[in-house]
Structure 1
């Protein structure tokens, strides 16, 4: 890849894609998620598995948490599609590969992926280079948040119908945003058509993280800061539920990471188990 291509998407999105591929390559079956498409998109240098953040043992908890979160979202998409919701929005899509891996579901939806213009241009090019293409039902929506662009305006211009219910998902993003920005997103999504659902992952404050995981979470802070994507916000579940209520959602529930661990990792012979540190909010209008 050229130097220009290496600049996008950001390192956090690439790391998530590589961890998802690592799950298939180093963890024993059954695999919680089958995703090596993100690895093909990222096309890292040879030896990428030797990176310190790819150490099979050292990254196992984070890797499991990432694939558990992704599997939960995919199950949620399937559920919402089955009940008739026809629009799916991914905020901060990065190297999301649901459209490529699950066209059996995605092709029944109008799907919108929102991210930085450079990332979207890069992803469109890579999808075409790999022969995967960009189908009509998938819209790559470029939004420059740093320049103050209105993602809602860009989404509507891309064909989103605000009068119809939608599933909106934002995972692995809120911790890099300020609390004000997260609250603004909650208020915006709470104004969607009745019957819409919002799934948001959020970093936990230390008091809600298992003591055995706190040092590992803290060890990532210098890395994300050095990469230009420092952690900016964390929440306790009661605070997040209160924010959803204040934003105007009709209902909201907290989905702890431990629930995903029980749902997707129980009884594994290899002991793979997600670390704590990130939970989910699922709210409906």
Structure 2
């Protein structure tokens, strides 16, 4: 029983998975991103759609932003796999379900999912219980960040080959890290093999967020702190690009949330649009 009690997923990761499922269940087609596998993993029980953080209208912007970034990342990974990249690393993987939903693309990759030990133990158990199993191409890499765990060392021990290029993604993480920790992560990733690509999300400071979205974001800050995951770091696009270039990335570009909204939501007639506040860094070695 003690082991089961500590095998719990991160609450933020569960929320993201449920928003992705909500998009399929309540938003009009065409869906930007289709993922109900995360809902199966989370198994939140009846009434989960009545949770305050699942309010279909009040959280629609957050839901749209989550599926927009998921679609962008997945398009990037599939494109990279098509160009021969065969290593995919997910920092802060949470309830990512790429390996389960996209078996054909996943079969061309060795996927390394890095997250806290409790989340990884829980996910391993749930994948087995649901019949997905854990194929050899999927490596669940537990790292105790709070105890100073070395994720790079654990990644290598799991079979990652630093001599071959990889695509690395880190979404919804940097806001919870100190800037020093993010700088260190960027320096480490800038040492990847040539041809590698990093996609990393970052939160914008309040003054760069659209007026219509600012109040909703401010309301989430005390809730995040109360749940033990306070928002720590915010970056302007220029700051994030400077960090990447100083770390050693040869090329770094900013992908705005506005660009994703235009790319994935422009033709929708239901008014669904991503809230502003989270942008992406895409950098190559």
Smaller-chain TM-score bracket: over 0.9
Instruction: Give 1:222's aligned residue.
Output: 222
C-alpha RMSD of matched pairs (Å): 1.3
Instruction: Give 2:142's aligned residue.
Output: 142
Instruction: Give 1:244's aligned residue.
Output: 244
TM-score (norm 1): 0.98
TM-score (norm 2): 0.98
CA offset at residue 5 of structure 1? 5.4
Contact 2:175 2:203 in 1 (8 A): yes
Instruction: Give 2:72's aligned residue.
Output: 72
Instruction: Point out 4+ residue stretches in structure 1 off by more than 4 angstroms.
Output: 2-7
Residue 243 of structure 2 aligns to a residue whose secondary structure is helix
Alpha-carbon distance between aligned partners in 1 of 2:167 and 2:198, rounded to the nearest angstrom: 6
Cα deviation, 1:241-272, whole Å, max 9, x if unaligned, reads 00001000000000000100001111101111
Cα deviation, 1:167-208, whole Å, max 9, x if unaligned, reads 000001110111111111000000100110010000001121
Instruction: Give 1:234's aligned residue.
Output: 234
Cα deviation, 1:211-269, whole Å, max 9, x if unaligned, reads 11111111000111111000010000000000001000000000000100001111101
Alpha-carbon distance between aligned partners in 2 of 1:21 and 1:202, rounded to the nearest angstrom: 23
Instruction: Give 2:103's aligned residue.
Output: 103
CA offset at residue 3 of structure 1? 11
Change (3 A) 1:238 1:76: same
Tell me the number of residue pairs that the alignment of Structure 1 and Structure 2 aligns.
284
Alpha-carbon distance between aligned partners in 2 of 1:167 and 1:184, rounded to the nearest angstrom: 18
Give yes or no for the alignment of 1:284 onto 2:284.
yes
Aligned ranges for residues 7-18 of structure 1 at < 5 Å? 8-18=8-18
Contact 1:265 1:272 in 2 (8 A): yes
Residue 140 of structure 1 aligns to a residue whose secondary structure is strand
Change (3 A) 1:130 1:237: same
CA offset at residue 45 of structure 1? 2.3
Residue 175 of structure 2 aligns to a residue whose secondary structure is helix
Cα deviation, 1:51-96, whole Å, max 9, x if unaligned, reads 1110000010000000000000000001111111110000000000
Alpha-carbon distance between aligned partners in 2 of 1:45 and 1:78, rounded to the nearest angstrom: 32
Residue 273 of structure 2 aligns to a residue whose secondary structure is coil
Instruction: Give 1:202's aligned residue.
Output: 202
Instruction: Give 1:133's aligned residue.
Output: 133
Unpaired segments ≥5 residues, structure 2: none
CA offset at residue 6 of structure 1? 8.4
Contact 1:5 1:122 in 2 (8 A): no
Alpha-carbon distance between aligned partners in 1 of 2:223 and 2:67, rounded to the nearest angstrom: 21
Alpha-carbon distance between aligned partners in 1 of 2:5 and 2:161, rounded to the nearest angstrom: 33
